[in-house]
């Protein structure tokens, strides 16, 4: 009798252990696996995107990976990261595409293997993307053009503009410049004198901006189209001693560029909401992985023009130095 009781007890324990193991395995398998692949990971912009990603991952109980190439020009590495995410069994890839066209095949292959794709910040040339989340980059370019006109010296003089852009194969850089050029074309006393393209790092952007100022000394407005280009513009204006005669317009914000705005090397910044871009990307990826509707194909996040005049307004300070915010 005792032996039979012990056998029943052992069997019950084994069944309980098996049930627990199956429960744990099922829990892991039901947790959505989301791969966030961005252009790079080394700027304040991408740090803020990552903060949004991690906040949403905790809130929506998903497993996320966050990675990007060492530089924002390395499309081949980013395409390999997409393929690796597919091989790891990702349910959804949240992607900021380096190259609008050359990333399209990698996205197509991911979708063919049953992986859904949401793009953030910079889109890709594919109708198989479930949703784009980010700044309306064309309108951001228009906002930069309006800022350039607004801060230019008054009195009817010619506004002569130099542009410092990053890879124009990237959708957001291309659209920002298109919006800028289209608006400037409507301004009778403004012209774009010259433009350069630089790699997305401070040294290359600074060299490109200095080249414009040295080769075209009549330029009186200099525009950078992302965080690195902005630092290059500010550095070039400072290094050439032209803060009094050249107005600087830039994108994004970090401690250095905000300091440049305060000290006069920069005159306006078009500031995005990278936290929201990362947060909404993962939030909607979690919904997509669970078969839920995620709404419109395009979600535009906020942008704000920050100038020396509004820099210290309470609302602007919250935008510049926020660590959370989902609007």
Whole-number pLDDT of residue 57: 98
Q: What is the 3-state secondary structure (H, E, C) of the chain?
A: CHHHHHHHHHHHHHHHHHHHHHHHHHHHHHCCEEEEECCCCCCHHHHHHHHHHHHHHHHHCCEEEEECCCCCCCHHHHHHHHHHHHHHCCCEEEECCCCCCCCHHHHHHHHHCCCEEEEECCCCCCCCCCEEEEECHHHHHHHHHHHHHHHCCCCCCCEEEEEEECCCCCHHHHHHHHHHHHHHCCCCCEEEEEEEECCCCHHHHHHHHHHHHHHCCCCCEEEECCHHHHHHHHHHHHHCCCCCCCEEEEECCCHHHHHHHHHCCCCEEEECCHHHHHHHHHHHHHHHHCCCCCCCCEEEECCEEEECCCCCCHHHHHHHCCCCCCC
Q: Say which residue, 324 or 53, is predicted with more confidence.
A: 53
Q: Which of 121, 117, 103 is nearest to 50 (CA)?
A: 121
pLDDT at 75 over 80: yes
Q: Which two tokens stand for residue 30?
A: 């039901």
Mean of pLDDT over the chain: 90
Answer yes or no: are the C-beta atoms of 176 and 227 closer than 8 Å.
no
CB burial string 70-95: b at 16+ within 10 A, e below: eebbbbeebbebbeebbeeebbbbbb
What is the mean predicted confidence (pLDDT) over 48-58? 97
pLDDT at 248 over 70: yes
pLDDT at 76 over 80: yes
pLDDT, tens digit (0-9, with 9 covering 90-100), for 278-312: 999 999 999 999 999 999 999 999 999 999 999 99
Whole-number pLDDT of residue 167: 78
Whole-number pLDDT of residue 153: 75
Give the CATH superfamily of 31-134+273-301.
Response regulator (3.40.50.2300)
Whole-number pLDDT of residue 104: 97
What is the mean predicted confidence (pLDDT) over 78-84? 98
What is the mean predicted confidence (pLDDT) over 8-33? 52
CA distance 207 to 59: 43
pLDDT at 22 over 80: no
298-301 vs 131-135, strand pairing mode: parallel
pLDDT, tens digit (0-9, with 9 covering 90-100), for 132-151: 999 999 999 999 999 999 99
CA distance 305 to 320: 11
State how far the alpha carbon of 157 is from the alpha carbons of 67, 187, 218, in Å. 47, 12, 12
Whole-number pLDDT of residue 169: 85
Whats the size of the chain, residue-wise?
A: 327
Whole-number pLDDT of residue 10: 47
pLDDT at 38 over 80: yes
What is the mean predicted confidence (pLDDT) over 147-165? 89
CA distance 281 to 286: 9
Q: Say which residue, 16 or 166, is predicted with more confidence.
A: 166
- pTM for the model stands at 0.87
CA distance 288 to 281: 10
Whole-number pLDDT of residue 298: 97
What is the mean predicted confidence (pLDDT) over 173-201? 96
Q: What percent of the chain has a predicted confidence (pLDDT) above 70?
A: 88
pLDDT, tens digit (0-9, with 9 covering 90-100), for 268-277: 999 999 999 9
Answer yes or no: are the C-beta atoms of 106 and 132 closer than 8 Å.
no
Banded model confidence at residue 101, pLDDT cuts 50, 70, 90: very high
pLDDT, tens digit (0-9, with 9 covering 90-100), for 208-226: 999 999 999 999 999 999 9
CA distance 116 to 90: 9
Planar angle of CA 247, 245, 183, nearest 5 degrees: 35
Backbone angles phi, psi at 9, to 5 degrees: -65, -45
CA distance 308 to 298: 32
Fold of 137-271: Rossmann fold (3.40.50)
CA distance 11 to 30: 28
All CATH 3.40.50.2300 domain ranges of the chain, comma separated, are 31-134+273-301, 137-271
């Amino acid at each position: 009798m005792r032996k039979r009781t012990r056998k029943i007890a052992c069997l019950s324990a084994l069944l309980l252990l098996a049930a627990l193991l199956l429960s744990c395995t099922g829990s892991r398998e039901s947790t959505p696996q989301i791969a966030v692949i961005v252009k790079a990971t080394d700027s304040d912009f991408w740090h803020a995107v990552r903060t949004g990603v991690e906040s949403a991952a905790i809130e929506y109980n998903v497993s996320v990976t966050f990675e990007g190439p060492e530089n924002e020009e390395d499309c081949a590495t980013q395409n390999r990261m997409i393929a690796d995410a597919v091989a790891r069994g990702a349910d959804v890839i949240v992607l900021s595409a380096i190259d609008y066209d050359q990333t399209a095949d990698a996205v197509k292959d991911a979708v063919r293997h049953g992986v859904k794709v949401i793009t953030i910040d910079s889109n890709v040339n594919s109708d198989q993307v479930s949703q784009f989340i980010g700044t309306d980059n064309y309108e951001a370019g228009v906002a930069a053009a309006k800022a350039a006109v607004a801060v230019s010296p008054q009195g009817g003089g010619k506004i002569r503009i130099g542009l410092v852009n990053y890879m124009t194969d990237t959708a957001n850089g291309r659209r920002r410049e298109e919006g800028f050029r289209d608006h400037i074309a409507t301004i009778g006393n403004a012209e774009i004198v010259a433009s350069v393209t630089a790699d997305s790092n401070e040294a290359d952007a600074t060299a490109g901006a200095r080249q414009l100022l040295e080769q075209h000394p009549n330029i009186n407005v200099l525009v950078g189209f992302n965080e690195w280009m902005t630092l290059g513009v500010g550095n070039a204006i400072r290094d050439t001693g032209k803060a009094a005669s050249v107005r600087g317009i830039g994108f994004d914000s970090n401690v250095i560029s905000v300091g440049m705005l305060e000290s006069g090397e920069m005159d306006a910044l078009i500031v995005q909401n990278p936290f929201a871009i990362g947060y909404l990307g993962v939030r909607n990826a979690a919904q997509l992985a669970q078969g839920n509707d995620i709404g419109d194909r395009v979600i535009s996040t906020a942008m704000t023009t920050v100038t020396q005049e509004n820099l210290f307004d309470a609302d602007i300070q919250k935008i510049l130095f926020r660590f959370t915010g989902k609007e």
